[in-house]
Amino acid sequence: MSGRLDGKVALITGAGSGMGRCAAELFAREGARVVVADYDDAGGKETVDAITATGGDATFVRADVSRAADCEAMVQHAQATYGALHVLYNNAGVFPADDGGVLDTPEATWERVMDINLKGVWLGCRAGIPALLASGGGSIINVASFVAFLGAATAQIAYTTSKGGVLAMSREIAVEYGRQGVRVNALCPGPIETPLLAELMSDPARRQRRLVHIPMGRLGQAEELAKAALFLASDDSSFMTGAALVVDGGITAAYVTPE
């Protein structure tokens, strides 16, 4: 049985844990050769081991996406290992606990979030687009968020701003490369049940404050987001570019007033 990504080479940043790992494993099951890029060596190698244990093909490269040299090196690793690049999934991101209101978020926190969540996506695209073009085109998936469309229920100024930037950037690059075979779409998840979010929502009151705004009444699962990413990575979305695929349990469809 053929997979939806047979013959494709996919590079996924932040693939050492959470949504990135889930997507890496799914892409591999669908036939892709996967480049696992992550700042965490142990996590990245665990993802590779999980893929190869089930017969998939994956390789790890250490990358800090806020560094141009690392982004260039991860793309070069993909080309050197597999000879091509067809899918670039810019998934890596951070959400520091002290990212709060506009008046109380530390400047260092703002800069770190922008460096990874926004600059990191730009650097990934800048490094990856020439490789995608050389491979005959491909798909770029940039992780934005539902907060690119509306303000969050709890203050998170740096994260929200960074994700709005990712959405705008994705549209800009999609227009620039639309006639050259490179599709660029933003994946906009709502709250997804990951270790990062579990830590941020360990306070029951803070968890409930978020759940009350989700019409489906629950957090999303990493597998649900990975399947959306698979759609954008595959030829099933061949006429989609410059779009925002919102996977948020209905949050952006609802009218709510923060408590």
DSSP string, 146-210: GGGTS--SS--HHHHHHHHHHHHHHHHHHHHHGGGTEEEEEEEE--EE-HHHHHHT-SHHHHHHH
Could you tell me the pTM of the whole model?
0.94
Whether 211 shows a pLDDT value over 90: the answer reads: no
Catalytic residues: 159
**144: helix, coil or strand?**
coil
At 66, list the tokens.
């806020």
Provide the total of helices (H) and of strands (E) in the chain, helices listed first.
Answer: 9, 9
Q: What is the pLDDT of residue 95?
A: 93
Pick from 51-65, 164-178, 191-205: least confident: 191-205
What's the average model confidence in pLDDT over 228-241?
98
What's the average model confidence in pLDDT over 9-19?
97
Report CA Rg, the chain: 17
Spatial distance between the Cα atoms of 35 and 181, rounded to a whole number of angstroms: 21
Spatial distance between the Cα atoms of 22 and 45, rounded to a whole number of angstroms: 14
User: 195, 210, 224, 217: which is closest to 156 by C-alpha?
Assistant: 210
Please give the single-letter amino acid code of residue 195: P
What digits encode the pLDDT tens for the residues 24-63? Answer: 999 999 999 999 999 999 999 999 999 999 999 999 999 9
Right CATH for 9-245 from 3.40.50.720, 1.20.1260.10, 2.120.10.70, 3.40.50.10790: 3.40.50.720
Please give the helix or strand (H or E) that residue 62 lies within, else none: strand 57-62
Q: Is the dihedral of CA 185, 164, 22, 47 positive or negative?
A: positive
Strand order in the sheet with 138-143: 57-62, 33-38, 9-13, 87-90, 138-143, 182-189, 244-247
